[in-house]
Structures are given as C-alpha cells and as structure tokens.
Amino acid sequence: MSLLAQLDQDMKLALKDKNKSKLSTIRMLKAAVKKVEIDKRRPLTDDEVLEVITKEVKQRRDSIAEYEKAGRDDLVEKEKEELVILQSYLPEQLTEEEVRAIVAEVVQEVGASSKAEMGKVMSAIMPKVKGRADGRLVNRLVSEALGS
C-alpha cells in the first residue's frame, strides 16, 4: 500500500474514532503533499511523500525547541503529539551506532580525510539513510569522523 493510500485510510479511521489530533495532523500532512504535487505538476512517489513527512517532522522538532525556549508548554504538547503521529509514517529510525558505522564506511569509500570534503561525504551518505536518520545527527557524526 502506498503512503498516500495509508494516509487516506488512517484519516478515515481517525474520523470514525473522533481522534481530532490525528485527524488534523493527517489533514495538514496531506495538504503539504498536495502543495508539493501542485508545484511539481505530477503525483508524488512514495519516496517524495517520505521527503515531505521528513520535512514536517523536522519542522515539529524545531517548533518544539522554540516553544520550550518561550515557555509555551501548551504548544509544546501539541507539537509533540503531531511529531509522534508523523513519525509513525517514517521507516524505522537507525540508531546512532548504525549511523556511525555507515559514516565510517562512506568516509573510507570516498577516501575523505579532512573537513573540506564533508560535502562529498554527506552527499554520499544521505541517500543511504534517507528518512531513517536525522540530518543533524549524520552531520555531527561526519564532522566527528573527519575532524580527527
């Protein structure tokens, strides 16, 4: 089943169960997907839908950090609820150790030895961990690997 079909099915279930937070989150996600479809003028593939979900997850994490700084606990809770719902559509996340192993492998493949080659390493790693690891974590681990 495609991600969009899964979203439609989950939206119907949320409607039946009167689960307002899940319903509003799925509607927001479908609107974001629709916007990208309109921009690209074609239906999105599952990988592209995954990119949209990943972007929405990143937005939620950033919002949570900002709301915590501002002391808006009510908004933090709402964003955390949305984050949990959005993450349920992402593939299982890699652990830090698994990402560290991929980083070491790619650094060796590319033959990178300095931070100046970080872009080359990042561009080789990101397709391998797409949707399964946070970009900030990957960036930090690559930086550590090349900083020695």
Residue-range domain boundaries for the chain: 3-87, 96-147
Q: Does domain 96-147 have CATH number 1.10.10.410?
A: yes
The Cα-based distances of 93 to 16, 83, 134 in angstroms read 30, 14, 9
Report, as an integer, the average pLDDT of 57-83. 94
Cβ neighbors of 79 (< 8 A, separation 6 or more) are 60, 63, 64, 67
Instruction: Tell me which of 1.10.287.610, 1.10.1510.10, 1.10.10.10, 3.40.1380.10 is the CATH number of domain 3-87.
Output: 1.10.1510.10
Q: Which amino acid, residue 72?
A: R
Find where tokens 């080359």 sit. Answer: 120
63 pLDDT more than 70: yes
- pTM as predicted: 0.80
Per-residue pLDDT of 7-31, as tens digits, reads 999 999 999 999 999 999 999 999 9
What average pLDDT does this structure show over 27-46? Answer: 95
Report how far apart, in Å, the C-alpha atoms of 13 and of each of 7, 9, 18, 128 are: 10, 6, 8, 33
Model pLDDT, residue 32:
96
